């Protein structure tokens, strides 16, 4: 099992809009049959930073999903509105669960 963690740091003044759009993107992921990402907000550090975490069975499953996500306009249209709100492109980490 892996966890894909994405970190979104908003431009100053755009944190509220970013939160609404990341929530919408998470809902669209679930509507398209992907696992709904868990959303977290930082208490310290860059103001308004959001983190999503999404579980996948394997790195291969996650990699295979990328083309399907990009082909789902309901998801890509939300991300087209997210990107202009970011201080820089989002950071993606792939974590391997250990038990």
pLDDT in tens, 17-63: 999 999 999 999 999 999 999 999 999 988 899 999 999 999 999 99
Residue 45's pLDDT is what?
Answer: 84
Percentage of the chain modeled with pLDDT above 70: 100
Which strands form 50-56's sheet, in the order they lie side by side? Answer: 38-41, 50-56, 2-8, 91-96
**Average confidence (pLDDT) over 70-74:** 94
Residue 46's pLDDT is what?
Answer: 85
Mean pLDDT of the residues in the chain: 94
Would you tell me how many other CB atoms lie within 10 Å of the CB of residue 90?
17
Rg of the Cα atoms in the chain = 13
Output the pTM of the full model.
0.90
Percentage of the chain modeled with pLDDT above 90: 94
Domain 2-96 CATH class label: alpha beta
Residue 99's pLDDT is what?
Answer: 79
């Amino acid at each position: 099992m892996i966890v894909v963690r994405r970190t979104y740091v908003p431009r100053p003044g755009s944190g509220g809009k970013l939160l609404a759009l990341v929530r919408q993107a998470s809902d669209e992921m679930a509507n398209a049959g992907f696992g709904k990402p868990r959303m977290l907000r930082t208490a310290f550090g860059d103001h308004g930073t959001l983190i999503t975490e999404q579980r996948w069975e394997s790195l291969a499953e996650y990699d295979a999903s990328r083309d399907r996500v990009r082909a789902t306009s309901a998801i890509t249209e939300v991300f087209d509105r997210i990107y202009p709100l970011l201080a820089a492109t989002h950071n993606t980490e792939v974590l391997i669960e250990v038990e």
